[in-house]
Amino acid sequence: MMNRALSFFGLGYVGLTSAVCFASRGFKVIGYDADPQKIELINSGKPPFYEPQVEDLLGEALGSGLLSCTHSPAGAVEGSHITFITVGTPSNLDGSINLEQVKSASKQIGQALSGKGDYHLVVVRSTVTPGTTENVVKPIIEGYSGRRCGEGWGLCFNPEFLKEGSAVRDTFNPDRIVIGEFDRTSGDMLEELYRGFYGDEMPKTIRTSPINAELVKYANNAFLAMKISFINMMANLCQKLPEADVEVIAEGIGLDKRIGPLFLKAGAGWGGSCLRKDLEAILDYALKNHVELPLVEATLKVNNAQPYRLVELAKGLIGELDGKRISVLGLAFKPETDDMRDAVSIKIVKRLLEEGARVAVYDPKAMENARRIFGESVEYSGSIEDCLRGSECALIVTEWDEFRKLTSQDYIKLMKIPAVVDGRRIYDAESFSSKLRFAAVGLGEKRYYNPALAVNAIITKGDGILLVRRGIEPFKGLWSLPGGFIEYDETVEDSLIREVKEETGLDIKPIRVLGVYSQPTRSPTKHVVTICYQCSILSGEVKPSNENIEARFFAVENLPEQLAFDHLTIIRDHLKSKR
């Protein structure tokens, strides 16, 4: 059978991606968009956004003559058998859905249908709240066409589940197709279109009512967002528990087939144009129907706070941020896109600026969009190297591949003080934290044993020499003591000194315990503690002094890997060099 000709109203991610994919399989496609500039851009071969493969497919589609974009909505309907509505459905200020573009497209399609002879199918693909296809789209088209739905034209709601960054791949390999149909003829026509498009690889198809199809889309996005918020919630718990790691928790629960491994990546939170908008819209819709959706509310709540965790981790690593140069690696809401809509990077950068940091930003694709958002408030780096150079802390906000490739040595080489907050869990925590100051979302520390951290804490506080001992038995009970600076008894002190003496053979004696550097936790009653000792090392030459702090600090900054946790060796070497 001859391929149906298609038209798309709205040439954003969904519309343009679908259009070029259909054209690539021999369908004639006409695009229309209310923005004339977008039409010109697309007709010249340039997608108005970055999305892998779209530019190539667009070039082919224009070259083959199968795709054209028109300024005439009537012409688009006239020249096609099936029209997809793929316009945006943004949020109003109160979170409710804004249907203006859907209404306007419906009106244009209705007007065009009034004079059209052959049967025409209208497919709503924009995400719309339950009942919209029936109560908004259908009456508008009926009103402007003068024809009832089913009389010469049909209507379906057909949700899309495309992810930005993999929209083309997702279009060719969907998990399922959901068709919400007003009558059998409409549903048959749409299913037949997809059979023509997918051939032998036709995905499982659900045929149902429009309202069910509309609900599937919202339930889908709400569930995905809930999964991520769930694992982020667990990450925040893990972060406060020594030796805990959310990655292992995610793997552990993900292997349960009832849960599944996808969308369990803890990080800085979810962003993007869809999830928040859709969750807020369904929440508003449900409330108007006198139903509460507490899990959706909690999902949003967890996500609103999540980006700030990275800033807290940065402060845990380097102390106050005021006046310090901080590098933000990654601005797009996810890799492989230049999209910054609702990106967590926006919240993070704003908070860093509020804290007085000097912020340098870098993203492989999103710099242009970033300029529109941050204006003159940040430094836009031309490369990763420029961004890191002279910086005191780097935050991984988006997990681009080129950031994954960086080694701890790259950071050490470029930064003034190498400190990394891995907000997307792209680095090997064990290896990184042995070489530089390192913190990661959902990683309970180990890092409190890192001498570099403790040195930093003490330097920040402006105190004296410290000695941090890793894994000493009496210290283990001290991890979660009531808030504030803890009291400790002499047995702890004695045990530390004994061990140091045994291991180094040096005669050392503590002269003063400086106190306990305490990391406030989310729980008001718990503090995670790092014990900081001031010691006098009675070898004759070395006395506690500012000079020694400098020396030790320097030694830790340039720590070779094998010495990472071995402060005793540092002391020994330091003493040798003084002799």
Catalytic residues: 274
Q: How far is the CB of 267 from ligand UDX (least distance, A)?
A: 4
Judge contact between 50 and 89, C-beta under 8 A.
no
In this structure, are residues 335 and 163 in contact, taking their beta carbons and an 8 Å threshold? no
- Among positions 31, 110, 272, 316, the unique one binding ligand UDX when judged by CB under 6 A: 272
Contacting residue, 51, 134, 142, 164, with ligand UDX by CB under 6 A: 164
Kindly list the distances between the CA atom of residue 442 and the CA atoms of 166, 267, 431, in Å, as whole numbers in the listed order: 26, 8, 16
Burial bucket for residue 539 (CB in 10 Å: 0-12, 13-18, 19+):
middle
Q: Mark 250-269 with x for binding to ligand UDX (rule: CB under 6 A) and - for no binding.
A: -------------xxx-x--
Token pair recorded at residue 481: 């003591």
Shorter beta-carbon distance to ligand UDX: residue 73 or 423: 423
User: How far is CA 382 from its chain centroid?
Assistant: 22
222 CB-near residues (< 8 Å, 6+ apart)? 278, 279, 282, 293, 295, 296, 299
**Least distance in Å: CB of 122 to ligand UDX?**
20
Q: Which of 10, 187, 210, 271 binds ligand UDX (CB under 6 A)?
A: 271
Q: Tokens representing 246?
A: 């959310």
Interaction with ligand UDX in 524-543: which residues (CB under 6 A)? Answer: none
Amino acid at 440: A
Report the helix count and the strand count for the chain, using DSSP H and E.
24, 16
Q: Shortest Cβ distance from residue 401 to ligand UDX (Å)?
A: 14
224 makes contact with ligand UDX (CB under 6 A): yes
Q: Which is nearer to ligand UDX, 175 or 200 (CB)?
A: 175
Q: How many positions of this chain bind ligand UDX (CB under 6 A)?
A: 19
In whole angstroms, the minimum distance from the beta carbon of 351 to ligand UDX comes to: 17
Binding mask 300-339 for ligand UDX (x = CB under 6 A): ---------------------------------xx-----
Spatial distance between the Cα atoms of 484 and 519, rounded to a whole number of angstroms: 9
Long-range contacts made by residues 252-257, C-beta under 8 angstroms, separation at least 24? none
The site string for ligand UDX over 122-161 (x = CB under 6 A, - otherwise) reads: --------------------------------------xx
Q: Which of 83, 101, 221, 345 binds ligand UDX (CB under 6 A)?
A: 221
Cβ proximity to ligand UDX: between 73 and 271 the closer is 271
Q: Where are the alpha helices (DSSP H) in 389-479?
A: 401-404, 408-414, 429-435, 451-461, 473-476
Give dist(CA 370, CA 365) in Å, integer: 10
Exactly one of 19, 57, 222, 228 binds ligand UDX (CB under 6 A); that residue is 228
| 162 touches ligand UDX (CB under 6 A) | yes
Q: For CA atoms 501, 503, 506, 511, give the dihedral sign.
A: negative
Distance CA 81, CA 7 (A): 8
- Among 22, 182, 270, 427, which residue sits at the site for ligand UDX (rule: CB under 6 A)? 270
Minimum CB–partner distance for residue 27 and ligand UDX (Å): 22
Residue 377 CB coordination number (10 Å): 11
Residue 89: CB minimum distance to ligand UDX, A: 12
Shortest distance, CB of residue 269 to ligand UDX, whole angstroms?
Answer: 6
Binding site for ligand UDX (CB under 6 A): 160-164, 221, 224, 228, 263-265, 267, 270-272, 274-275, 333-334
